[in-house]
Amino acid sequence: MFALSDSQYRRCLMLMVAFHIGIIAASNYLVQLPFTLLGFHTTWGAFSFPFIFLATDLTVRLFGKGPARAIILRVMLPALIVSYVVSVVFPRGSFAGIEALGEWNLFVARIALASFLAYVIGQLLDVQVFDRLRRLAWWVAPVCSTVLGNLADTYAFFATAFYNSPDPFMAAHWMEIAAVDYAIKLAISLLFFLPLYGLLLAWLTRRLMVWTGHADLAPRTA
């Protein structure tokens, strides 16, 4: 793990916070777009949100649990606001206009709250699991943290957002959609993001050795 100077820490923190907020905004739009995959109902948000777990795992591996938690704390409130704004302005994937923000929307507020809770629960669990397993083989921590983090995130979101929802389709199918969503996230993460994690880890480690001027340190000595 790399020790950063104050300016390096602030720069990395701002970049990662912006990345997380961008993925949350995109996912809150895409989760409103259901489609059928092999006869099962799911949403396009299943394909975008795993990027956050990839970024969080790399942050814990390279910089430690503290910076990863700092990112989550800084993203929490903006994520809640962004989730509400995106869901109001783009209801069910259509554009309602900025003027839609002038009227309080309880249904959309529930989706925003669900996104907020799911993000915090999923990411904090991801950080904790990854940090406990990071001393094992390079792939063990990202696999275990992804499996558990995505499980908590997915069901926290769909249960909060769509249980007894006024949207008849989502109220009737949220458990099926959540299960398929989780399966897709796992497939994407384990088949595509795990190899990508390995490649990015190697590349970022080389870049950070040049940037910080020292080698990657073991967690216990960093």
Q: What is the mean pLDDT of the chain?
A: 84
**Domain edges within the chain:** 6-209
Q: What is the pLDDT of residues 179-211, one digit of tens each?
A: 988 998 888 888 888 888 888 888 888 877 777
Closest Cα to residue 208, out of 57, 59, 51, 16?
Answer: 59
Q: What is the pLDDT of residue 144?
A: 94
Q: Please report the pLDDT score of residue 222 as a whole number.
A: 44
At residue 217 the predicted structure's pLDDT band, cuts being 50, 70 and 90, is low
The per-residue pLDDT for 128 is 92
β-strands 34-37, 40-43: how paired? antiparallel
CB-based contact 177:34 (threshold 8 Å): yes
- What span, in angstroms and rounded, lies between the C-alpha atoms of 134 and 153? 21
Q: If DSSP codes are grouped into helix, strand and coil, which group holds residue 140?
A: helix
Write the pLDDT tens digit of every residue in 22-68: 888 888 888 778 888 777 777 888 888 888 888 888 888 877 888 88
Residue-wise pLDDT tens digits, 61-110: 877 888 888 888 898 888 888 888 888 888 877 888 888 888 888 877 88
pLDDT, mean of residues 170-184:
88
CB contact at 8 A, 41 and 177: yes
In contact, 70 and 14? CB cutoff 8 Å? no
Kindly tell me if the per-residue pLDDT of 115 is higher than 90. Answer: no
